[in-house]
Amino acid sequence: MTDDLALVERFLRARGEDEFRTLYRAHTPALYALALRLTGGDQGEAEDLVQESWVRAVRALSSFRARSALRSWLCGLLVNVRRERIRADWRTVDAPDIEPAADTSGPDDALDLERAIGALPEGARDVFVLHDIYGYTHREIAEMLGIVEGTSKSQLTRARTLLRSSLP
Give contact residues for other proteins (rule: CB under 8 A): 14-18, 20-21, 24-25, 28-30, 32-33, 36, 42-48, 50-51, 54-55, 58-59, 89, 92, 110, 113-114, 132-135
DSSP structure class, residue 107? S
Using the minimum distance from each CB to other proteins, give the nearer residue, 33 or 147: 33
Instruction: Give the separation between CA 40 and CA 62, rounded to whole angstroms.
Output: 32
Using the minimum distance from each CB to other proteins, give the nearer residue, 7 or 58: 58
Say if CB 79 and CB 52 are below 8 A apart: no
Min CB(125)–other proteins separation in Å: 12
Neighbours of 40 (CB within 10 A): 20
Instruction: Give the separation between CA 65 and CA 73, rounded to whole angstroms.
Output: 10
Min CB(32)–other proteins separation in Å: 4
Min CB(91)–other proteins separation in Å: 8
